[in-house]
Structure 1
């Protein structure tokens, strides 16, 4: 077999092992080192190392000299260098800080106050409880960026209230599932940090580019909720005074000041300091982590137990992301050295695709990968395969990254592998069937596709803020 054929075998074997359930990070590292040993094998170097070690040991320990010779391969140098590169990456430093901010906010009992306040404030709107649930999801998802945590917590908090208010089971479930995924798109998004580290695109420009598409998607969701409540009132009945009591304006203003405003100020201070150049993403993430702790203290939720849980979850998730990077960098280096990237580039070029056709093909592949894989694995492992092809079609990697971020919303919403639906089903009342949740997320899935079409037809939605703040 030629080297390019071995590279394709390497990629196919990796995909097969992933579907068999092997841990992805360690599979990447093992395959990178295994195939890399073949790719970088140098018999002369191995024997020189063996002879040198044999002379130093006086042939008294043949086992150690043989082992030393066998391990004298450049793949081990590459693996060590890639590990050091990932662990010293300044962009990735923001990941644990944003994660810590999210976990602290999640445990600070802020969301319950926020949903109650927004529910009362929007009580006269059609679909008021759905609107309140979506806005709460959007704010909480933006602050945490952790889809499972948002869907689970909102499922425990908002879903029973919506069902009690006689909302349609599917409609209520779809709102929570769709709202919970917004954190991977709306800044400060951890997913965009990971994409920036993979692609070399400025994280500051990515945050600016993602803001309007994120708000556009939220707007489409709100239009659907209000529109359906007006067209089909039985799906979202107007709440009674027992379900949502009337509150005087003065008291409502105080409730907004103590629930909505603190979390909104935390998000805007973190995002604003990045977009206006007052702080780097890492510095802003540190401010956010400190702000999350202050919020928890203000709400009297800053206990040792909660802090310990937040630190543990932050370390666990950060380690997963970093080792995925190490494995991916090692795997992709060997894959490229064997000629795999060149084979893919030649194959795509031979198809004579237009830029639109290439975008559709790439997004379709990412859409399908979203069924078995998490967003982190898609961004770190598979998106870099497309990045070298973007210049051939004149596609800006900034624009491509925002489309990918939108597309990854669908990976959480597409049956039969819609992870947000399974998160919700795990804590939903027994009367809520999985098929009902799937039915509820389908309209929101369609709206994500509509938003992607809008991005392509009107690319200034993506480029306007980056060009306004930082120039073209």
Structure 2
């Protein structure tokens, strides 16, 4: 009954609109004092200190800074324009270029907000001007912007690894194939749609392609594609080759992004100041939620919640895949209302021991959950990717058009999750091959 009351108070406070971090911490302190008495104020600082001393988490602010600094460099906008013209004669070429650039930005930054805003500002007006329907244009931009949630280096994967006690490097390797498959599925969909409904997806005019190609020198083309590739190589290459740990690679990436911005001539004091402020702001939010979740986890275990949950599942005689389906549905529904960070810190510490009890591969589970969490950025009413896009979209774009445009991509993600459930080798093949 006390556990039930704990959850009811938590969700009631969240629904009333109180900040997640302070809700988790506040409710946990009240119930923790009832559970542990004054010992709570001895146990909780030890638990928080143990969590914060995890060196893996140092990668979070470094990767956030890398993404913000890359946005300041202007490389992303040039890459998007160049790719769009090169694919101009392909059906749905501009939409395909958005998917490809979204994947490259995901592998360079992993920051959803920066990617969606950049592509929304650069490509949405261009797509609408060329006659693309609002639903088609906004759908691919919002979906491509969330690829940073699964394509490494991903903040989701870092947090998932720290909570589930899985090697971040192994998670990054395991996420490569599912991430690539998701990009391919997006491209396949936008191309087939363009073939079936050509009037909704007009091609880029020949004269515009010809005019751009006259300005596109070989040196500019090399600079456009080589610089982002060097950043990806410096981060992921150093991890996959065993040269650096994920935390060290985050430092390499932060420095590389700063140097690229300098090469572009945009490394100003204002850019550095804004990057530091935005990185500090985002990192503080993540870690405040982590402190609240740590307090919640301590109280939950102190009340015997994990043991009770295991007993309930054992008494219900659930099959492993039935339990997995319940967890995945629960996380998918939770993604409609709360952020991926809260879901990781609230759900995963509770369900991970049960997955281990069933003998399921936790690496496979982590990738499945990460793909599931990606949908939380796309599902209304609180899909952050939709908010970011609406914020930079022209006034004539209605919210319902963005919601309608994103539906096929949510379906694609669900299909991919289902495929990985039935074929775990999609996740485990590359780590096993490189082992």
TM-score (norm 2): 0.96
1:35 lines up with 2:31 in the alignment: yes
Q: Of residues 176, 192, 197 in structure 2, which corresponds to 1:211?
A: 176
- Cα shift at 1:255: 3.2
> Is 1:24 equivalent to 2:16 in the alignment?
no
Aligned to 1:437: 402
1:247 to 1:309, Cα distance in 2 relative to 1, 3 A: closer
Higher helix share: 2
For residue 330 of structure 1, give the secondary structure of its aligned residue in structure 2.
Answer: helix
Equivalent residue in structure 2 for 1:228, among 176, 189, 193: 193
Higher mean displacement: 355-364 or 192-201: 355-364
**Structure 1 unpaired stretches of 5+:** 42-72
**1:249 Cα deviation from its structure 2 partner:** 9.2
Distance (Å, rounded) in 2 between the aligned partners of 1:108 and 1:328: 35
Aligned position for 1:13: 9
Is 1:325 matched up with 2:290? yes
Contact (CA 8 Å) 2:337, 2:381: kept in 1 or not? Answer: no
2:317 to 352, 355, 363: 352
Larger radius of gyration: 1
After superposition, the CA RMSD in angstroms is: 1.6
Quick check: 1:110 aligned with 2:50? no
1:366 aligns with 2:362: no
SS of residue in 2 equivalent to 1:373: coil
Alpha-carbon distance in 2 for matches of 1:252, 1:11: 61
- Structure 2 CA distance, aligned partners of 1:234 and 1:245? 23
SS at match of 1:237: coil
Tell me by how many angstroms 1:436 deviates. 1.1
CA distance in 1 between counterparts of 2:200 and 2:316 reads: 47
- 2:137 alignment partner, one of 163, 172, 178: 172
Q: Which residue of 2 aligns with 1:131?
A: 96
Per the normalisation by structure 1, the TM-score is 0.89
Corresponding residue SS for 1:115: helix
SS at 1:244 equivalent: helix
1:336 maps to which residue?
A: 301
Q: Distance in 2 between matches of 1:259 and 1:327?
A: 43
CA–CA distance in structure 1, aligned partners of residues 386 and 267 of structure 2: 31
**Quick check: 1:93 aligned with 2:58?**
yes
Residue deviations 1:248-288, cap 9 Å, x none?
A: 59946433311122112211220111112110111111100
Per-residue deviation at 1:433?
A: 1.2
Structure 1 residues 250 and 429, CA gap change in structure 2 (3 angstroms): closer
Q: Deviations over 1:186-206 (max 9, x none)?
A: 001111001111110111110
Q: Please give the alpha-carbon distance, in whole angstroms, between the structure 2 residues aligned to 1:142 and 1:356.
A: 31
Equivalent residue, structure 1, for 2:344: 379
Cα distance in structure 2, aligned partners of 1:252 and 1:176: 28
Q: Please give the per-residue CA displacement for 1:416-452, whole angstroms capped at 9, x wherever unaligned.
A: 4333222211221122111111111111111101111
* Residue 390 (str. 1) matches residue 355 (str. 2): yes
Asked if the contact 1:78/1:330 (under 8 Å) is kept, the reply is no
Question: What corresponds to 2:383 in structure 1?
Answer: 418
Cα separation, partners in 2 of 1:351 and 1:214, compared to 1, 3 Å: same
